[in-house]
Structure 1
Amino acid sequence: MIVCQCKVVTDRDIRAAVDRGARTMAQVCRVTGAGTECGRCVFTVRRLLCEHGEIVHASLPEVDSEAS
């Protein structure tokens, strides 16, 4: 599905950006171009970032705060 009409960014593009390491809204927008024109897509971009980011974060190993 196209998320950003202005830059023709899809939900797959957003998920791919998160898979490649984008963890914030600014990082996703910088990498994909979404949200940089009219801004109508930012809520959808944020939702996808939160949904897909939770999956990525859940697969990351826990960091022991005592060890760091």
Structure 2
Amino acid sequence: MIVCHCLVVNDAAVVDAVEAGATTLAKVCQTTGAGTDCGSCVFAVKALLCEHDVTRATLSPDLPLAAGETTHAGVLSDALTPTSGR
């Protein structure tokens, strides 16, 4: 699929750049040429970067959290728990 129509950069070129070590949007754009003309493709390029950059991988649900850490659900449920005295 074409991601950058101005310079005809496809999604495979973006993924190749990420796999070769481009871990920022600026580096991916510099490597592929995408986003350097009109810039309307940068959101699609960023989405591909986030999908394929293994250095930004999130914790797996079965990995233990460090002491004192809470999950997003824990933070939300704590926020919804009524406090005493109100």
Per the normalisation by structure 2, the TM-score is 0.63
Identical-residue share of aligned pairs (%): 61
Cα distance in 1 between the residues matched to 2:21 and 2:35: 18
* Structural RMSD (CA): 0.8
Larger radius of gyration: 2
For structure 1, the residue ranges without an aligned partner over 5 or more in a row are 59-68
Counterpart in 2 of 1:10?
Answer: 10
2:27 is the alignment partner of 1:27: yes
Structure 1 position 46, deviation (Å): 0.3
Structure 1 position 11, deviation (Å): 0.4
Cα distance in 2 between the residues matched to 1:51 and 1:15: 9
Higher helix proportion (structure 1 or 2): 1
Higher RCO (Cα < 8 Å, 6 or more apart): 1
Runs of 4+ in 1 over 2 A off after TM superposition: none
Q: Deviations over 1:8-33 (max 9, x none)?
A: 00000000000111000000000000
